[in-house]
Each structure stands twice: as structure tokens, then as C-alpha cells.
Amino acid sequence: AQSVTQPDIHITVSEGASLELRCNYSYGATPYLFWYVQSPGQGLQLLLKYFSGDTLVQGIKGFEAEFKRSQSSFNLRKPSVHWSDAAEYFCAVGGPEYGNKLVFGAGTILRVKS
Amino acid sequence: DADVTQTPRNRITKTGKRIMLECSQTKGHDRMYWYRQDPGLGLQLIYYSFDVKDINKGEISDGYSVSRQAQAKFSLSLESAIPNQTALYFCATSALHGGEQFFGPGTRLTVL
């Protein structure tokens, strides 16, 4: 079955430290890749997306992600975390190989300590 | 104004009751989706519709039904609610094949 793995359920980082959230997908030669963020009590907001081209993509709020086809990964990074980044982050994969639907990972909850 | 709206935002109901959750969008998108979110499980697709005459089951459609009344409206019904349908429900829309989806604010449903 098509799946998306986010191996870290919770991550805690200090404010100002760097962040990397991991995401691996199980299937697809040309996946469409997404990172969404969900703040408490809110809906999902798109941080960034990759369809094709440059494998390093920039998103909102200072986030970036890198697509590595050889590792089937699309990890999210931020060089310096702010307290307002505390939220839950979801990786998703879509495209024609996924029936034009999105498959979501289980999410990673980010805690930021001061 | 929000592009994707959901009503109600919160609902508490009893086992066996019929419940309808509504979704409206002003984005002009053809594609609409219903998901449920449970802690630790991410978002699971319940139903999706690629246009007004198209309805498809998702991963977890049992116990749910949908109606696509117009391009802008997509409703989710629980015919006879049960406690394990207590969850956060999201509606989403998209314009492209498998592309970016835009989410509503969610409906928190509690079934007692």
C-alpha cells in the first residue's frame, strides 16, 4: 500500500536551534510532495510543495525542504526555530501515481523550549 | 473571507443520531475532499469528488455518505453516529490533478 512515514512522533528543540523533520514515501517515480502545518485548533496550512525541477524548495515562514529521489525522502528544515513554530507538521504525497489524491503521514508534533 | 468554510465548527451528538457536516468553497475548484483526523493517525480520506457528478470512496468510507450539491458544496453525513466517529473532520479543495489542497478550519465532532 502507498504510505508516508514520519518516523518522529514528537520533537523538542530549543528556540534558535535548527530543525529537521523527516518524511519518507513508499511509492512513485514522480511524486508530488507537500508539507503542511497545523497550529492548535486550526486547519492545515501549506508550507511548501514540490512538483518537479529544483529539488530544494523554499516555503513560507523560513522553511525549506529537499527532495532526494534515491532515498524517497522529503525532509523539512529550518535553520533557526522560533517559539511560534510549535505545531504539528504533516508530510503528504500525491500526483497521478497516487490516483490524484494525497496520502498523509501521521504527523510530527514540534515543541519549542525557551 | 475564508475560501473554504465548514459548518458547524463544533458538534456534540448522541449515538444513533444522523449528522450532516457541510463544506462550502469560493475558490472555484472542481475537486473536493472529506478527511477525518485522529491523534497519531494523520488525515484519512473518507470521500472525494472530482466534479459535481463524481463521487468516490476513500480509505474509510464505511458509516459515512456524501452529497455534492454544487461545485461549491460538499456535505458529509453520518447516517447513525457511533462514538468511534468522534474526531476532527476537514474538508479540502484542489484545482489540479493531485496538486495542492486547501483546507477548511475543521469540525470537531463528539459522539456520546
In the prediction, which pLDDT does A95 show? Answer: 87
pLDDT at res. A42:
85
Q: Per-residue confidence at A92, pLDDT binned at 50, 70, 90?
A: very high
pLDDT tens digits, one per residue of A10-24: 999 999 999 999 999
Nearest-by-Cβ selection for B90 from A43, A94, A96: A43
> How do residues A27-83 score in pLDDT, each as one tens digit?
888 899 999 999 988 889 999 999 999 999 999 999 999 999 999 999 999 999 999
Q: What is the pLDDT of residue B80?
A: 96
Task: Say how far apart CA B56 and CA B70 lie, in whole Å.
Answer: 16
pLDDT value of position B98: 57
Least CB-CB distance to B105: which of A43, A96, A98?
Answer: A43
Quote the CA–CA distance of A67 and A49 in Å, as a whole number.
10
CA distance A15 to chain B (A): 25
pLDDT for the residue B1 = 59
Q: Cβ distance B65 to B16 under 8 Å?
A: no
**Based on C-alpha coordinates, what's the Rg of chain B?**
13
Q: Which residues pair with A49 in a beta bridge?
A: A34
pLDDT at B96: 67
Reported as a single tens digit per residue, the pLDDT across A100-113 is: 889 999 999 999 99
Cell, residue A56: 530544494
SS3 at position B11: strand
Distance from C-alpha of A72 to C-alpha of A28, rounded to nearest angstrom: 9
Q: pLDDT band at A8, cuts 50/70/90? A: very high
| C-beta of residue B7 within 8 angstroms of C-beta of residue B105 | no
Tell me whether A102 touches chain B (CB under 8 Å).
Answer: yes
> B60 at the A interface (CB within 8 A)?
no
The secondary structure of B18-51 as a DSSP string is: -EEEEEEE-S--SEEEEEEEETTTEEEEEEEEEE
- φ, ψ of residue A83 in degrees (nearest 5): -55, -30
Residue B45 touches partner A, C-beta closer than 8 Å: yes
Positions of chain B with pLDDT under 50:
none
User: Distances in Å between the alpha carbon of B6 and those of A71, B20, B25, B27?
Assistant: 38, 11, 9, 14
Asked if the model's pLDDT at residue A2 lies above 90, the reply is no
